[in-house]
Structure 1
Amino acid sequence: MTKPFEVHESGALLHGTKADLSVGDVLVPGYLSNYGVGRLANHVYVTQTLDAAVWGAELALGEGRGRIYIVEPEGALEDDPNVTDKKFPGNPTRSYRTREPVRIVGEITDWVGHSPEQLQTMRDGLADLERRGLAVIYD
């Protein structure tokens, strides 16, 4: 099980998604977002915590299994405003974003997802935000 706010043992940056990618591939802004149907992403999002990457892999739109990639950004990172100081004081999820390319350098394949109950609770909460018009992503 993952622990919230615990930096992955490698210290690497991670990206959770359902996209089937390979080492050497590059993630860039301007493609369909993992979240929000039909929305283009202006940033690539990364994290240093396995828990946040697992949530990304589990909640991403699309078919197939979730994947967690080890990535290296080719430019500057900034704190992810969707969690930093909005949901959590500071940046305990160690979540960042960039408008620059992010290269895949590896994949973590032995991760364990959240329980079905945790996943349903998160999905219910996100659906409630959507119904109330509060599902805002600052991208």
Structure 2
Amino acid sequence: MPSSPKPFERHESGAFLHGTKAALEIGDLLVPGRYSNYEEGRVMNHVYVTKTLDAAVWGAEFAKGDGRGRIYLVEPEGAVEDDPNVTDKKLPGNPTLSYRTREPVRIVGELTDWRGHSEEQLQAMRDGLADLRRRGLDVIYD
């Protein structure tokens, strides 16, 4: 069994990763214009990707839907930029190696041998997100 993902550690593949609960196939495209996993009713202008397994796992664990979490290896079809939701706002620089793009992102593979966060870590994240919502600080820069 693989170990829990480590924050700020680049995935060994070097690939961009995307965590979700959507069941997708190799060759499928992720495109902007889908509903947010984090804000009810919000349509997102970007597709978000990362180069760390940890960030992709968080995405898979907190994605909307009833399916199992999935982590896809992806290739953006256009330019990517640092994700302003974490870069220099919550964390100096871009230690989560998190990016976004307005262009399609193609599924090129799936990681199936990964381990999620512990229940304690998940609850701490839920509590932190709830606190941000209560204080009106759960802003998404999209």
Q: For 1:76, which of 76, 79, 87 is the aligned residue?
A: 79
In structure 2, the partner of 1:114 is: 117
Matches of 2:6 and 2:137 in 1, distance apart? 27
2:69 aligned with 1:59:
no
Matches of 2:40 and 2:47 in 1, distance apart? 17
Q: CA deviation at 1:20?
A: 1.1
**TM-score, normalised via structure 1 length:** 0.98
Query: For residues 1-139 of structure 1, what are the structure 2 equivalents within 5 Å?
Result: 1-139=4-142
Figure out how many residues of one structure are paired with residues of the other and give that number.
139
Partner amino acid for 1:113?
G
Matches of 1:103 and 1:93 in 2, distance apart? 21
Partner amino acid for 1:44?
V
Matches of 1:51 and 1:90 in 2, distance apart? 17
Where in structure 1 do 4 or more consecutive aligned residues deviate above 6 Å? none
**TM-score, normalised via structure 2 length:** 0.95
Percentage identity across paired residues of the two chains: 80
Q: Which runs of 5+ in 1 are unaligned?
A: none
Partner amino acid for 2:43?
L
Q: Which runs of 5+ in 2 are unaligned?
A: none
SS at match of 1:87: coil
SS at match of 2:131: helix
1:104-128, Cα deviation, whole Å (9 max, x unpaired) = 0000011100000100110111011
Partner amino acid for 2:93?
G
SS at match of 1:57: helix
User: In angstroms, what is the RMSD of aligned CA positions?
Assistant: 0.7
Q: CA deviation at 1:34?
A: 2.0
